Amino acid sequence: MSAEFRGELQTELKGLAEAGLLRSLPQPGGVRAAGPWIHFASSDYLGLARHPEVIEAGCRAFREQGSGAGASRLLCPDAALHRELETRLASWKRREAALVFSSGYAAAAGTIPALVGRGDLVLLDRLSHASLIDGARASKATVRVFPHNDLAALEAILLRMRAKFRRVLLVTESVFSMDGDTAPLRELVAVKERHRAWCLVDEAHAEGIFGGTGAGLIEALGLEGQVEVELGTLSKALGSGGGFVAGDRELVELLVNRSRSFVYSTALPPPAAAAAQAALALLTSAEGEKRRERLRSLIALWGGGEGDRSAIFPVIYGEERRAVAVAARLREKGIFAPAIRFPTVPKGKARLRISLCAFHTPEEIRRLRSELSREEG
């Protein structure tokens, strides 16, 4: 390594530290079941990542099919495990087909450029996840950002710009990952219908919580089939790893041919695919419903009302250093709730992002609230 190269990197890191934006990886012991911390940063909403049936399914696939797929899906001679998982995901989402990607990021970043390009328009909610933003930028389409959940502003953009473009893709999360609020999906669907647009909805943080079978906010609102593209994840409520897209058969066929993050990525490891399939079976069973009910009760305990909202609760401090300091003091008391800072959230909006899971206890939640109250005092 040249001295100049190292010096440039040190300067970059010093700038991050001075701005209160330097990050480091948590030390071992952060997993709740194996360490001293009570973990309030996980998206394992139903606690299925450590369920014995999920673990055994992954171990069985590991023994029978190995630790890795070895190649892209287009080069794998037999991907029966992946195809079965996709069939079950499509059924769960009440769609014709699904396609599994190596990660949720890959699913988002690879789907948008496969659908739109030069001469098209992408409209993004301002608080959309980075993977959606990156996918929109990579598409070479014209990108416009509308204020968060602002339907009037969205409509105004469409009235001004729709006629100039071949295709228009409206992109949003159903549950926003840093704020925990929900998109007005019924109204968004009505807007896209009026303007002959397509809609892509990322359900990552709604799955396992909303809907009769935990399929997400689209299911809860009865909008199945009215949203062209559904993004989902295997790494949160399904307790494994990977992402997927659900929709029409033609959508999946196009992605197999055009999505670079699918075509050029090694397939999801068999243990992850098997674990996700086992988790999906549990999520849609009576046990899954019990876990959702437990999570809803914990959400209600935190929120002081009904448990009909998401499991994400931001505690906003604004200034980056204050959020970091609060997170550090909580760690000293055995609570892991890391500070979230720019660029994950806007500058001046630093926060603790509290995510509740079915494995938490009421006592743990009361303890966290008590500690946060002391910080406010």
Quick check: is 39 catalytic?
no
Q: Is the dihedral of CA 59, 64, 70, 73 positive or negative?
A: negative
Residue 102 known to be catalytic: no
**Residue 96: count of CB within 10 angstroms of its CB:** 15
Give the DSSP per-residue string, 204-225.
TTTTTTSSTTS--HHHHTT-TT
- Helix locations, the chain, DSSP H: 3-18, 52-65, 80-93, 104-115, 130-138, 151-161, 185-194, 217-220, 249-258, 260-263, 270-283, 286-303, 320-332, 362-376
Strands 198-202 and 168-173: parallel
Asked if 296 and 308 count as a contact pair (C-beta separation under 8 A), the reply is: yes
Q: How far is CA 238 from CA 33, 46, 205, 323, 343, in A?
A: 18, 8, 11, 30, 27
Catalytic residue among 43, 103, 177, 259: 177
Q: Each residue of 141-162: b (16+ CB within 10 Å) or e? A: bbbbbbeebeeebbeebbeeee
Q: Which of 51, 192, 236, 360 is catalytic?
A: 236
Given 39, 82, 93, 205, the catalytic residue: 205
| Residue 14 annotated to the active site | no
365 backbone φψ class: left, alpha, beta (φ>0; ψ -120 to 50): alpha
Just list the catalytic residues: 177, 205, 236
